[in-house]
Structure 1
Amino acid sequence: MSRSPALYTKSLTSKARRTVLKAGSTLLLSVIAPASARAAQILAVRVWPAEDYTRVTLENDSDLKTSHFIVKDPERLVVDIEGIDLNPELKSLVAKIQSNDPYIRQVRVGQNRPQVVRLVFDLKEEITPQVFTLKPVGEYRHRLVFDLYPSEPIDPIAALIKKGEWAKEEPADTMSSLIESKLDSKSKPADTQTAKANLKEELAKQTMRMVTIALDPGHGGEDPGAVGRSGSKEKDVVLAIAKRLKAKLEEQPNVRVMLTRDGDYFVPLHVRVQKARKVQADLFVSIHADAWIEPTARGSSVFALSEKGASSTAARWLANKENAADLIGGVNIKGQDRQLAHVLLDLSTTAQIKDSLQLAKAVLGEIGGINKLHKNGVEQAGFAVLKAPDIPSILVETAFISNPEEEAKLTDDGYQDQMATALTNGIKKYFAKNPPMAKGRMM
């Protein structure tokens, strides 16, 4: 049966319209579908091995969903990450595991199924993993974090003993033995009593119990701290100064030193305080390098805790910046007892602050001999890391890393050594006026 020209034209027009609509739908789907089904992208991979724990960080452009489980014999941690495909950045994780990593032997990475990547960490010992995500902060995008802690938490004192850095306390009868060894056996009884009294007074000035000092190099790991114009990182220069200071302090009689971190890894603020308390530290010195929005700012500063607010606007700003270290470094909020941490950091006492101010003044006086002081007096603010209730605690800003001239100083071996010497002398002056007394074991 033949069609009329009009009907034929109408049929062609209808068919063409359907073809165009179909093509349009296909084009629309091709635009929309990839956006909704696009896999997340891993932007950077970082590994931070340390004696305390090993951290692995995957930085990505969106929040990721994960599941993980432990496999025994041999020990393995298996992690499945949804919504991503294997890319070169993620593959680079394999080469970033160091042979001396305390907890990870090696890692294997593979596409387990479409848009699901599986990581298998072959472990050196039993671990307790914490897997969590961090929202974008500072220069970081979304982060997926794996913290691999030993199943048996490391005791700071045990770790120092293992390294040979924890000397035993002197015996209780040390004073008596020293007195007897110095007395002439032919002395008359009356002379002996007088000599004993004189020697006891003399030796009391020379002999003291072991003094434990906690040094706290700020920042570390995921948290670089302030960064200078030449690229110097606060976390690196303050660790270098802390190690020099440790060596100088340990040259003094009856002094032992604990570093809250001895490598490039992140330590939460409240953990720094807990470490100092566990080793019964007599002093806590947190070491930093200042920064300001203007490169002309310069000078060294010493801070103590304040009960009544900051001593200046700049001190308050600095305390807020330093207290934000946990956000940048990355704390697993769900993995810690926040109430306990809050209580610990709210137990500061008037006596502690009074002693801290004396220590701060002694140190400030010495630092002023090697660098211009930003402020002539000790400043105070609510630094979380200074809130140990029973330990005199100060925070030292060694110089402004944001100032090009002072950045050069901070990276100079000579200046680092001068700063360590000044801090040592300040601590010695404090103890000369405040000799440590015997004390009981802290909880």
Structure 2
Amino acid sequence: MKYVARRQMLKGLGLAGLTLALPGGVLAATSQELASEGLARLQEGKTAQALTALKEAAKLDPANAWVFNLLGRTYHLSGQPRLAVENFRLALRIDPADGYSRMMLDVLAQHPLPPAPAEKPIKSKRLSPLEEQARDELSAFAKTGKAASKRLLLIDPGHGGADKGVTGTTGLAEKDLTLEVASLLASELNAASGFRAMLTRQADYAVPLWARKAQADLFGAELMISLHCGASLPGYAGVEIYSHSGTASDPEANAVAELENGVLRFERVQPPVLTEPASQRGLLGAWRARSGERRGKELADALVIQLSPPAPLAPGHARQAPLGVLDGPRCPCMLIELGFLSNAQEEKALKGKDFQAALASSLAQGLTRILG
């Protein structure tokens, strides 16, 4: 018989855990092949078929963190948060570096888990130490789920790693300043009732633009705020607030977009190619994008009015530009230029720790006012 690729022969058969008989013997689906088939079905929105393949993969290889990661995603999409948490926990126990499972556990922690269904004890089955630890963690997790009333704001400290961003004449790097102010802003917002803030990065390392945007959807953020510092012609000063638009509102906004989008040259990791469900495409997807842009502009316009930054910074303008970091998330987004490092007076002020704290406090107050 003609040679047929192994993966193609197992497509479909692997979903039922079957084997394929060949003249040379029996060819069985491996855990990795079943996991790949499960991922394919998951991307097509066929969660029942994905679960069939992934459960079989877990039986074949109970130490494969990727399989349990995919099981967690599938259970989450099929509306079974308790089982999703259980599998994400198992994935993390096998591979503590599984960042996706850690992120999804944080997402699911924003809502208390539903009560576990009553089950008859199976005396003949003895849990492994790993299963016992996961069961105990799941029980504690269900009791301490974070309140759903907390409104999540995602704060993105611009640049990082090899990408320093703008550097002032005294050596102040944009990537360091944005991280400092973002950390202070997160503390201010977390201290305010009803809000919870998270950062897209917490140290000096590179995060691709697509990963920053993806976190907004993964965490279910209400608003994403990307912090930056400008560099422009002499005379420009103050805080500038941008929302996303396919067309820049003015030449200065277009120049800012070209500068900020230039970080793409530092990115070595490309975004995963995912098949979106039909509900995310077409008219509904376009409507969501327009709605997010409209809301982002409304919030940017409102923040300019409410913001009272410390001197010598002054409220600037609300502008629109085709900024890559703001293009894509379902939630409204804004980019805030925390002054201009090309302005000697502003750079000197921005280096001060007390000034950074005052700036973060003014931003937190402005954001809490416009969000109500």
Give TM-score, length-normalised by structure 1. Answer: 0.49
The residue type equivalent to 2:332 in the other structure is P
- Change in CA separation of 1:325 and 1:254 when aligned onto 2, cut-off 3 Å: same
**1:76-97 alpha-carbon deviations (Å, 9 max, x no partner):** xxxxxxxxxxxxxxxxxxxxxx
- Change in CA separation of 1:339 and 1:287 when aligned onto 2, cut-off 3 Å: farther
The partner residue of 1:226 within 146, 166, 180 is 166
The partner residue of 1:248 within 175, 185, 188 is 188
The partner residue of 2:249 within 308, 311, 315 is 311
Unaligned runs of 5+ in 2: 1-64, 67-94, 115-146
The residue type equivalent to 2:362 in the other structure is A
The residue type equivalent to 1:216 in the other structure is D
**1:270-293 alpha-carbon deviations (Å, 9 max, x no partner):** 11000111000001000001112x
The answer to whether the aligner puts 1:299 opposite 2:245 as a matched pair is no
- Change in CA separation of 1:321 and 1:338 when aligned onto 2, cut-off 3 Å: farther
Q: Give the structure 2 partner of residue 157 of structure 1.
A: 103
**SS state at 2:100 partner:** coil
- Change in CA separation of 1:389 and 1:295 when aligned onto 2, cut-off 3 Å: same
Which structure shows the bigger proportion of residues in helix conformation?
A: 2
Calculate percent identity across the aligned residue pairs: 28
State the distance in 1 between where 2:173 and 2:96 align: 29
1:404-419 to 2 correspondences below 5 Å: 404-419=344-359
**1:277/1:388 contact within 8 Å kept:** no
**SS state at 2:167 partner:** coil
Q: Give the structure 1 partner of residue 176 of structure 2.
A: 236
1:139-154 to 2 correspondences below 5 Å: 152-154=98-100
State the distance in 2 between where 1:220 and 1:296 align: 27
**SS state at 1:349 partner:** helix
State the distance in 1 between where 2:338 and 2:196 align: 22
Q: Give the structure 1 partner of residue 268 of structure 2.
A: 331
The partner residue of 2:211 within 250, 271, 295 is 271
1:421 shift after superposition: 1.3
Deviates more, 1:217-226 or 1:409-418: 409-418
Unaligned runs of 5+ in 1: 1-125, 128-148, 173-206, 433-443
CA RMSD of aligned residues (A): 3.3
The partner residue of 2:363 within 423, 432, 439 is 423
State the distance in 2 between where 1:402 and 1:423 align: 21
The partner residue of 1:370 within 310, 333, 351 is 310
Q: Whose Rg is larger? A: 1
State the distance in 2 between where 1:170 and 1:338 align: 29
**2:239/2:316 contact within 8 Å kept:** no
1:363 shift after superposition: 2.2
1:392 shift after superposition: 1.0
Q: Give the structure 2 partner of residue 22 of structure 1.
A: none
State the distance in 2 between where 1:222 and 1:387 align: 23
**2:104/2:219 contact within 8 Å kept:** no
State the distance in 2 between where 1:157 and 1:339 align: 21
**1:169/1:210 contact within 8 Å kept:** no
1:339 shift after superposition: 9.6
Q: Give the structure 2 partner of residue 38 of structure 1.
A: none
**SS state at 1:363 partner:** helix
The residue type equivalent to 2:363 in the other structure is L
**1:285/1:394 contact within 8 Å kept:** yes
**2:245/2:321 contact within 8 Å kept:** yes
1:67-106 to 2 correspondences below 5 Å: none
- Change in CA separation of 1:369 and 1:220 when aligned onto 2, cut-off 3 Å: closer
**1:217/1:239 contact within 8 Å kept:** yes
1:374-393 to 2 correspondences below 5 Å: 376-393=316-333
State the distance in 1 between where 2:290 and 2:267 align: 31
Which structure shows the bigger proportion of residues in strand conformation?
A: 1
**1:362/1:429 contact within 8 Å kept:** no
Deviates more, 1:352-361 or 1:368-377: 368-377
**1:210/1:255 contact within 8 Å kept:** yes
1:368 shift after superposition: 4.1
**2:217/2:329 contact within 8 Å kept:** no
The residue type equivalent to 1:332 in the other structure is V
**SS state at 1:249 partner:** helix
1:419 shift after superposition: 1.5
State the distance in 1 between where 2:102 and 2:336 align: 23
Q: Give the structure 1 partner of residue 337 of structure 2.
A: 397
State the distance in 2 between where 1:376 and 1:407 align: 16
State the distance in 1 between where 2:314 and 2:150 align: 34
State the distance in 2 between where 1:370 and 1:361 align: 19
State the distance in 1 between where 2:316 and 2:347 align: 21
State the distance in 1 between where 2:311 and 2:166 align: 19
State the distance in 1 between where 2:267 and 2:112 align: 41
**SS state at 1:394 partner:** strand
**2:185/2:360 contact within 8 Å kept:** yes
Q: Give the structure 2 partner of residue 73 of structure 1.
A: none
**1:299/1:399 contact within 8 Å kept:** yes
Which of the pair has the greater relative contact order for Cα pairs under 8 Å at 6+ separation?
A: 2
